[in-house]
């Protein structure tokens, strides 16, 4: 018997300990918010090559390994990366499985001494960032790297949880052995900005460098901020994305306490089942997903490999509840509308959505209802969930899903949403159920939402001169 999943939009769950606050008086009417988000004129895409933002590299650490093509091939095959947790003894937990990375190796990317000290969150970040720069033709020490204006090259990789293993170990040492046994690396390796900082030290990028932490919306917030640095002329190139490594006892226990997780221990491969009537919560995942974002002008000057184009994005907040989604879907629908306006795209141009779709009872349908407010004719849109195969990678989810979205553009194939057994009738989109489909993507959006009511949407398309 499976526990019922709480109401959630992504990770948003309303445990009893989180009472809803009373609405404050004189709040801005919802109709005004809708009006402000509406597009007032025909959309126009950016044409200035200094402000157009293109993707020139991708890197990741995932449950399917560290190679982008292998990652997407396994997604297309409908393979699940979910299985029993063996990193620690999870036998006493009501959830005992996750999308856990096994056999991770950073050989050739992080020196052995540092590799042993670093939290996995930072290891995933550094490896993914360096692999992304490799694919962009900018490996440290290469001629192309040497020609960069490093003052205009930045790094913006966020994390929802930060160095949780280092933090947990430090607290345990304090309690059991006293403060003298706390590692001097406890604070530096626990804070969320250190992945970006250490990656910059390795590759010499001296431009904008920080992290954003907006729970499971983190990666998209980073993409949006990175693109805006480039558009404002503050940077030529930024490595952006998210990283997370929370599959440890305190991480698992915390989400169990929130009653957010599936408890399908008898069949973990089918536990993550977005939009299925029998879904019972999300499955924890981990990893990192990173893009090299670059102005078109800069990319063309160095003859870079242009993979796809970032057209725009948006972020906003439900301003409603710590963990519970708005019942009217206004935050999400207005965020989608604002992202399309920023991208210069009309709703009818979008034909693929990589959904947040975490496999929670209320969250999956809340997102679909919001999508329907923006896209009036869903018949031409493919919508799928990467999380059905790799679990919910929290702050890294948007990074890995952006890579999946871009690979759908470059390959002409969209991966399946697996574990579609009893679909919700309200979901009348094509969810690419259980089998990949060939699909020429015109414009794609990728959604990510998180605790606190944080909403984020990014827009990608094939690059056209």
Q: Supply the residues annotated as catalytic.
A: 216
The angle, 0 to 180 degrees and rounded to 10, between the axes of the packed helices 120-135 and 164-177 is: 160
What's the token pair of residue 239?
Answer: 């490595």
Residues 115 and 120: their CA atoms lie apart, in Å, by: 9
Burial zone of 77 (CB within 10 Å; 0-12 exposed, 13-18 middle, 19+ buried): middle
DSSP string, 173-212: HHHHH-GGGS-TTHHHHHSTTHHHHHHHHHHT--S-B---
Contacts of 389 (CB under 8 A, 6+ apart): 74, 75, 78, 79, 80, 81, 82, 272, 415, 418
The answer to whether residues 83 and 268 touch, using CB atoms and an 8 Å cutoff, is: yes
Please report how many Cα atoms fall inside a 13 Å half-sphere around the Cα of residue 61, on the Cβ side: 29
Residues 66 and 94: their CA atoms lie apart, in Å, by: 30
Rounded to the nearest 5 percent, the helix, strand and coil shares of the chain are: 35, 20, 45
Residues 457 and 338: their CA atoms lie apart, in Å, by: 9
CB neighbours of residue 178 within 10 Å: 9
Instruction: Report how far apart, in Å, the C-alpha atoms of 444 and of each of 95, 130, 194, 408 are.
Output: 34, 26, 31, 9
If we measure between CA atoms, which residue out of 447, 11, 5 comes closest to residue 216? 11
Contacts of 225 (CB under 8 A, 6+ apart): 156, 212, 240
Instruction: Report how far apart, in Å, the C-alpha atoms of 310 and of each of 52, 235, 307, 331, 340 are.
Output: 8, 15, 10, 22, 12
Residues 67 and 80: their CA atoms lie apart, in Å, by: 17
Residues 204 and 112: their CA atoms lie apart, in Å, by: 20
Radius of gyration of the chain (CA): 21
If we measure between CA atoms, which residue out of 21, 385, 65, 392 comes closest to residue 217? 392
């Amino acid at each position: 018997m499976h526990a019922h999943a709480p109401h959630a939009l992504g990770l948003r769950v309303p445990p009893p300990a989180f009472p809803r606050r009373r609405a404050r008086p004189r709040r801005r009417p919802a109709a005004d918010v809708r009006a402000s988000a509406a597009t007032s004129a025909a959309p126009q895409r950016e044409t200035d090559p200094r402000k157009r933002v293109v993707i020139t590299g991708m890197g990741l650490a995932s449950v399917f390994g560290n190679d982008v093509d292998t990652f997407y091939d396994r997604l297309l095959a409908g393979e699940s990366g979910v299985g029993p947790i063996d990193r620690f003894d999870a036998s006493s937990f009501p959830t005992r499985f996750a999308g856990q990375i096994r056999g991770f190796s950073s050989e050739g990317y992080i020196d052995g001494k540092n590799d042993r000290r670093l939290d996995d969150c930072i290891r995933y970040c550094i490896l993914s960032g360096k692999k992304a720069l490799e694919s962009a033709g900018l490996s440290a020490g290469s001629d192309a790297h040497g020609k960069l204006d490093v003052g205009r090259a930045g790094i913006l990789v966020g994390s929802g949880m930060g160095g949780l293993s280092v933090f947990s170990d430090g607290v345990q040492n304090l309690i059991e052995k006293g403060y003298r046994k706390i590692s001097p690396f406890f604070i530096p390796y626990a804070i969320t900005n250190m992945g970006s900082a250490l990656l910059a030290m390795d590759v010499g990028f001296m431009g904008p460098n920080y992290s954003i932490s907006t729970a499971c919306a983190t990666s998209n917030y980073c993409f949006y901020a990175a693109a805006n640095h480039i558009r404002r002329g503050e940077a030529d190139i930024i490595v952006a994305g998210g990283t997370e490594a929370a599959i440890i006892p305190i991480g698992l226990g915390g989400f169990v306490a929130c009653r957010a997780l599936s408890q399908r221990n008898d069949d973990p491969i089918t536990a993550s089942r977005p939009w299925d009537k029998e879904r019972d919560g999300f499955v924890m995942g981990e990893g990192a997903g990173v893009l090299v974002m670059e102005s078109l002008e800069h990319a063309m000057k160095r003859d870079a490999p242009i993979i796809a184009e970032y057209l725009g994005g948006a972020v906003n907040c439900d301003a409603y509840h710590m963990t519970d989604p708005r019942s009217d879907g206004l935050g999400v629908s207005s965020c989608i509308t604002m992202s399309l306006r920023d991208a210069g795209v009309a709703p009818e141009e979008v034909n693929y959505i990589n959904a947040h779709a975490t496999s929670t009872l209320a969250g999956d349908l809340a997102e679909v209802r919001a999508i329907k407010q923006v896209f009036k004719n869903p018949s031409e849109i493919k919508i799928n969930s990467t999380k059905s195969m790799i679990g919910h990678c929290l702050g890294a989810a948007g990074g890995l899903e952006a890579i999946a979205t871009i690979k759908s553009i470059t390959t002409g194939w969209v991966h399946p949403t697996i574990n579609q057994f009893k679909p919700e009738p309200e979901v009348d989109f094509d969810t690419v159920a259980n089998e990949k489909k060939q699909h020429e993507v015109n414009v794609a959006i990728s959604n990510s939402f998180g605790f606190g009511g944080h909403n984020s949407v990014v827009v990608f398309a094939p690059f056209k001169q």
